Amino acid sequence: MLFADTFKILLIALSLIIAYPAFWLVARALWPNKVRQASEKTANQSLKCFLWGVIPTTITMTVGIALLQAGGPVAFLGGLVLGIGFFFSQVGVAGLATLIGERLGKEGEDISAFRVTGRGGIALVMTFLFPIIGWVLLPLITIVIGFGAMLRTIFSKKIALEPLAGEHTVAEPEPSV
């Protein structure tokens, strides 16, 4: 293997290490309620989230790959299916990263919600560096858990109103006399 090949692999790994937590932070900023609900779902029953996500993730990947292999204009549709499925699952993984960040913090620690998600996201993405298991198995497991957490969030009746650790709510002003 040439030095250029090694350097290429290193740059790909570094770009993923930066891109994943950045995406989870953006998801936290754009859809705070969905990320909060996904965090609650994974905190209580992560195995259930995994089981909810296995079949839809498999179907999405199978359809997307089949369309990609068809070639031509249909390949664009396959890329779209895979991209939307990945995007959907990563919003759920942002909830998992938030959960990890909360559990890594000190009891009663008051930091911003984005720092909680960032801390958990960095810890989660560092597990992806572990050879073989982290390169293949852990990213797939997190995609499936994220997909399941989002599906459970969408089909859930409960709306999470309580802020997670580090989230500040705007208090209503007291009426003046």
Question: Per the domain annotation, does 80 fall within a domain?
Answer: yes
Question: Per the domain annotation, does 10 fall within a domain?
Answer: no
Pick from 148, 149, 90: which is nearest to 121 by CA?
A: 90
Contacts of 148 (CB under 8 A, 6+ apart): 48, 49, 50, 51, 52, 53, 54, 56, 92
Mean pLDDT (the chain, rounded) = 87
> Residue 36 class from Cβ within 10 Å (0-12 exposed, 13-18 middle, 19+ buried)?
buried
Percent of the chain with pLDDT strictly greater than 90:
67
Question: Per the domain annotation, does 6 fall within a domain?
Answer: no
- Predicted confidence at residue 145, as pLDDT, reads 96
HSE of 137, CA atoms in CB hemisphere, 13 A: 6
What pTM value is reported for the model? 0.82
Question: Per the domain annotation, does 53 fall within a domain?
Answer: yes
Number of C-beta neighbours around residue 169 at 10 A: 8
- Predicted confidence at residue 172, as pLDDT, reads 46
- Predicted confidence at residue 120, as pLDDT, reads 94
HSE of 130, CA atoms in CB hemisphere, 13 A: 11
Instruction: Give me the count of residues in the chain.
Output: 177
> Structurally, how many domains does the chain consist of?
1
**Residue range 151-172: mean pLDDT, rounded:** 63
User: Highest mean pLDDT range out of 9-18, 53-62, 131-140?
Assistant: 53-62
pLDDT at 76 over 60: yes
**Contact between residue 166 and residue 112 where contact means Cβ atoms under 8 Å apart:** yes
Question: Per the domain annotation, does 66 fall within a domain?
Answer: yes
pLDDT at 156 over 70: yes
> Domain range holding 112?
19-154
Backbone angles phi and psi of 82, in degrees to 5: -65, -40
Question: Per the domain annotation, does 165 fall within a domain?
Answer: no
Question: Per the domain annotation, does 177 fall within a domain?
Answer: no
Taking only the tens place, the pLDDT of each residue in 81-123 is: 999 999 999 999 999 999 999 999 877 777 888 899 999 999 9
Question: Per the domain annotation, does 2 fall within a domain?
Answer: no
**Contact between residue 21 and residue 142 where contact means Cβ atoms under 8 Å apart:** no
